[in-house]
Structure 1
Amino acid sequence: MFASVFVVILGLLYCRKGSSQSFLGRPRLYGPSEALAKEVVYFKCEVPDYAGDEEIYLQLFKVGDRNRSLGGYTSLRGEVGAIPKVIKPSHEGYLECVVSAQNNSGITPTVSHPHYLKVIDPVKGAEIIHSDPMEFYEGNALQLQCQLSAGTHVSYKWLLNGQPVSQSPVHYAADNLLRIDRTSSKDSGSYMCMATNTFNKTTVFSSNSSEVVVTIKDFVSSPNIAFTVLKEDSQNYSAVVTCESTRGTPPITFSLYNRTELVTNMTTDDRQATFKVPLVLDRHLGWLQCQANNGERIAYSDWLPLEVVPAGGPVTMHYDFDLGENYAIVGLRFYCKVKKGSHLRYQWFLNKTLLQDRGSFYYVANEAPKQSILLLSVGRSSTGTYHCEVSDSFDNTTAISSKKHYLDKDVLNRLPILLVAVVFGCFTALILLVSICCCIGVMFRRRQYGEKSLLNLEMDTMRAAYEGDLDLSVYNEDPDVVNAARGDEFDHASEASVDE
Structure 2
Amino acid sequence: MKKHQGLDFWPILATASLLIKISGSIPLRPVLTGPDKAYLNSRVAFRCIAPDSPPPVTYELLKDSDVLVGRDIDPIGGQSVAFFLKVSAASDGSYHCRATAGGNTGVSNSIQLSVVTPASNTRVTSDPFPPVAYEGSRLVLSCDVQTGSHLSYTWLFNKKEVTSSALAFFHLAGNKLVMESVTPEHAGDYSCMAWSMVKDIRRFSGSQEVQVTIKVYVSKPRISFFIFKEGDSYRGNVTCWSSRGSPPVNFSLLVDDKEVGSITATDSLAAWFQVAVVPGLDMGVARCRVKSELQELISEPVNLEVVPVGGDVKVEVEHLYTAESKLAAARLSCHVSRGTFPYFSWLLNDTILPMSHEDSHIQTTLPHFALADQRRTLVLTKLSPEESGYYRCRARDQYDDSGPWVESAAELVQVTEVFLTTIEVITVAFCCFLLLALAAGSACVYKMFDHNQAHAHISPAKSEALPLSELTSGKLTDKSSTDCDVLN
Cα displacement (A) at 1:350: 4.3
2:46 aligned residue: 43
2:143 aligned residue: 146
Output one character per residue of 1:96-153: Cα deviation in whole Å (capped at 9) or x when no partner.
4332459x5xx453324x5576765443321223464216441443222212244455
Give the 3-state SS of the residue equivalent to 1:410 in structure 2: coil
Give the 3-state SS of the residue equivalent to 1:146 in structure 2: strand
2:285 aligned residue: 287
Letter aligned with residue 145 of structure 2: L
2:373 aligned residue: 366
Cα displacement (A) at 1:257: 0.8
| Alpha-carbon distance in 1 for matches of 2:114, 2:269 | 58
Cα displacement (A) at 1:324: 6.2
Q: In the superposition, relative to structure 1, how do residues 165 and 358 fare at CA in structure 2: closer, same or farther (>3 Å)?
A: farther
Give the 3-state SS of the residue equivalent to 2:279 in structure 1: coil
2:191 aligned residue: 192
1:399 aligned residue: 405
Checking the alignment, whether the CA contact within 8 Å between 1:38 and 1:87 is kept in structure 2 is: yes
Cα displacement (A) at 1:306: 1.7
Cα displacement (A) at 1:60: 4.5
- Identical residues among aligned pairs (%): 27
Give the 3-state SS of the residue equivalent to 2:293 in structure 1: coil
Checking the alignment, whether the CA contact within 8 Å between 1:255 and 1:290 is kept in structure 2 is: yes
Cα displacement (A) at 1:27: 1.5
1:74 aligned residue: 73
Moved more, 330-339 or 299-308: 330-339
Output one character per residue of 1:305-363: Cα deviation in whole Å (capped at 9) or x when no partner.
222222222223221221365x5322222222222222222333445242435797333
| Alpha-carbon distance in 2 for matches of 1:219, 1:320 | 46
Q: In the superposition, relative to structure 1, how do residues 391 and 164 fare at CA in structure 2: closer, same or farther (>3 Å)?
A: farther
Letter aligned with residue 234 of structure 2: Y
2:3 aligned residue: none
Q: Which residue, 262, 265, 268 being the options, matches 1:265?
A: 262
| Alpha-carbon distance in 1 for matches of 2:383, 2:93 | 88
Q: CA RMSD in A?
A: 4.3
Checking the alignment, whether the CA contact within 8 Å between 1:134 and 1:215 is kept in structure 2 is: no
Q: Note the residue ranges of structure 2 that are not aligned, 5 or more in a row.
A: 1-16, 359-366, 452-461, 471-488
Q: In the superposition, relative to structure 1, how do residues 317 and 69 fare at CA in structure 2: closer, same or farther (>3 Å)?
A: farther
Q: Which residue, 245, 251, 274 being the options, matches 2:248?
A: 251
1:126 and 2:143 equivalent? no
Cα displacement (A) at 1:83: 0.9
1:319 aligned residue: 318
Q: In the superposition, relative to structure 1, how do residues 30 and 227 fare at CA in structure 2: closer, same or farther (>3 Å)?
A: same
1:156 aligned residue: 153
Cα displacement (A) at 1:244: 1.0
Moved more, 374-383 or 285-294: 374-383
| Alpha-carbon distance in 1 for matches of 2:416, 2:89 | 96
Q: In the superposition, relative to structure 1, how do residues 52 and 233 fare at CA in structure 2: closer, same or farther (>3 Å)?
A: closer
Letter aligned with residue 293 of structure 1: K
Cα displacement (A) at 1:260: 2.1
Cα displacement (A) at 1:219: 3.5
| Alpha-carbon distance in 2 for matches of 1:34, 1:135 | 37
Cα displacement (A) at 1:226: 0.4
Letter aligned with residue 126 of structure 1: T
Give the 3-state SS of the residue equivalent to 1:390 in structure 2: strand
Checking the alignment, whether the CA contact within 8 Å between 1:389 and 1:399 is kept in structure 2 is: yes
Output one character per residue of 1:169-206: Cα deviation in whole Å (capped at 9) or x when no partner.
563233321222334555444432223344543x4433
| Alpha-carbon distance in 1 for matches of 2:269, 2:65 | 72
| Alpha-carbon distance in 2 for matches of 1:363, 1:142 | 52
Cα displacement (A) at 1:43: 1.9
Output one character per residue of 1:423-479: Cα deviation in whole Å (capped at 9) or x when no partner.
79x98xx99xx9xxx9xx9xxx9xxxxxxx9x9776699xxxxxxxxxxxxxxxxxx
| Alpha-carbon distance in 1 for matches of 2:322, 2:278 | 48
Q: In the superposition, relative to structure 1, how do residues 173 and 367 fare at CA in structure 2: closer, same or farther (>3 Å)?
A: farther
Q: In the superposition, relative to structure 1, how do residues 372 and 288 fare at CA in structure 2: closer, same or farther (>3 Å)?
A: same
Letter aligned with residue 405 of structure 2: A
| Alpha-carbon distance in 2 for matches of 1:162, 1:142 | 19
1:177 aligned residue: 176
Cα displacement (A) at 1:210: 2.4
Give the 3-state SS of the residue equivalent to 2:416 in structure 1: helix
Letter aligned with residue 413 of structure 1: F
Q: Which residue, 220, 223, 228 being the options, matches 1:222?
A: 220
List aligned pairs for 1:25-44, cutoff 5 A. 25-31=28-34, 35-44=38-47
| Alpha-carbon distance in 1 for matches of 2:408, 2:191 | 68
Q: In the superposition, relative to structure 1, how do residues 42 and 180 fare at CA in structure 2: closer, same or farther (>3 Å)?
A: same
Paired residues in the alignment total 415
| Alpha-carbon distance in 2 for matches of 1:301, 1:224 | 5
1:386 aligned residue: 391
Letter aligned with residue 376 of structure 1: T
Q: In the superposition, relative to structure 1, how do residues 457 and 16 fare at CA in structure 2: closer, same or farther (>3 Å)?
A: closer
Q: Which residue, 227, 238, 243 being the options, matches 1:241?
A: 238
Cα displacement (A) at 1:365: 2.0
Give the 3-state SS of the residue equivalent to 1:51 in structure 2: coil
TM-score by length of 2: 0.70
Letter aligned with residue 99 of structure 2: V
Cα displacement (A) at 1:408: 5.3
Give the 3-state SS of the residue equivalent to 2:404 in structure 1: strand
Q: Bigger radius of gyration, 1 or 2?
A: 1
Q: Which residue, 297, 302, 305 being the options, matches 2:303?
A: 305
| Alpha-carbon distance in 1 for matches of 2:235, 2:256 | 19
1:210 aligned residue: 208
Moved more, 337-346 or 358-367: 358-367
| Alpha-carbon distance in 1 for matches of 2:159, 2:91 | 37
Cα displacement (A) at 1:45: 0.9
Checking the alignment, whether the CA contact within 8 Å between 2:392 and 2:410 is kept in structure 1 is: yes
Q: Note the residue ranges of structure 1 that are not aligned, 5 or more in a row.
A: 1-12, 446-452, 462-500
Moved more, 308-317 or 116-125: 116-125
Output one character per residue of 1:244-301: Cα deviation in whole Å (capped at 9) or x when no partner.
1223333322111123222222223232111111223233332211111233321211
TM-score by length of 1: 0.68
Q: In the superposition, relative to structure 1, how do residues 177 and 71 fare at CA in structure 2: closer, same or farther (>3 Å)?
A: farther
